[in-house]
Structure 1
Amino acid sequence: MKRIIVDYKKLTNEILALLVEKYPDGYGDDDIIKFRNANNEAVEALEVRTEDAIYLVKVSTRLANTMENFDEDEDNFDSGEIDRAVEIPDNPEDDDA
């Protein structure tokens, strides 16, 4: 299964709907996955899954605001492209050691 990192700027309606469905009351610190990307930069993300992919959506203040204001009846987002697939270790927290 592919793991794909998605930045807020490239968030699609489909992925946003999955986030709102999984975290209807918002997300907390326990929901955030922390790992280092290929450039050894610390990344914090929320995970949502589809049948063929795991999306890691980068956490930001704008993401939280967008999730709060999301209305499935409105087409607020264009279908943006998604970042390229990135290999991430099975246990991302092990990278912090």
Structure 2
Amino acid sequence: MKRVIVDYAKLTTNILDLLVERYPDGYDHSDIISFKNSKGETVKAVEVNTEDTLFLVKISSQLQQTMEDHETDDEDSNDTFDEIEITDDFDNE
């Protein structure tokens, strides 16, 4: 399974849909995982899966608001995107 770290600002509609579906009431402390990226920096993220990819979405103060805004916008639009900008890959150590 491919593993991808994504910053909230680079989220696609598809990944936002997965986040809202997995965390409909938002995420809490027990949902957050911490790990070291390839630069040795500690990263906090929540995870969502597709059939072939595990996405770790970096936690930020704007992520929860982005999820809430998307849930509202989703009612108004059905646009989807297939590409994301990968910010970092990680290995399962």
On the 8 A contact 2:5/2:86 being kept in 1, the answer is yes
What CA deviation, in whole Å up to 9, does each residue of 1:13-43 have, x standing for no partner?
Answer: 0000100000000100100010000000110
On the 8 A contact 1:34/1:42 being kept in 2, the answer is yes
What is the DSSP-based 3-state SS (H/G/I as helix, E as strand, rest coil) of the residue aligned with 1:88? coil
| Alignment TM-score, normalising by the size of structure 2 | 0.84
- Residue 3 of structure 2 is matched in structure 1 by 3
- Residue 81 of structure 1 is matched in structure 2 by 84
Alignment of 1:50 onto 2:50:
yes
- 4+ aligned runs moved over 3 Å, structure 1: 77-80
Change (3 A) 1:22 1:28: same
Structure 1 stretches lacking a partner, 5+ long = 91-97
Change (3 A) 1:84 1:61: closer
On the 8 A contact 2:48/2:54 being kept in 1, the answer is yes
- Residue 41 of structure 2 is matched in structure 1 by 41
Superposition RMSD on alpha carbons, in Å?
2.0
| Alignment TM-score, normalising by the size of structure 1 | 0.81
What is the DSSP-based 3-state SS (H/G/I as helix, E as strand, rest coil) of the residue aligned with 1:61? coil
Report % sequence identity: 47
> Partners in 2 of 1:44 and 1:6 — Cα distance?
11
On the 8 A contact 2:12/2:80 being kept in 1, the answer is yes
> Partners in 1 of 2:80 and 2:50 — Cα distance?
20
> Partners in 2 of 1:17 and 1:78 — Cα distance?
10
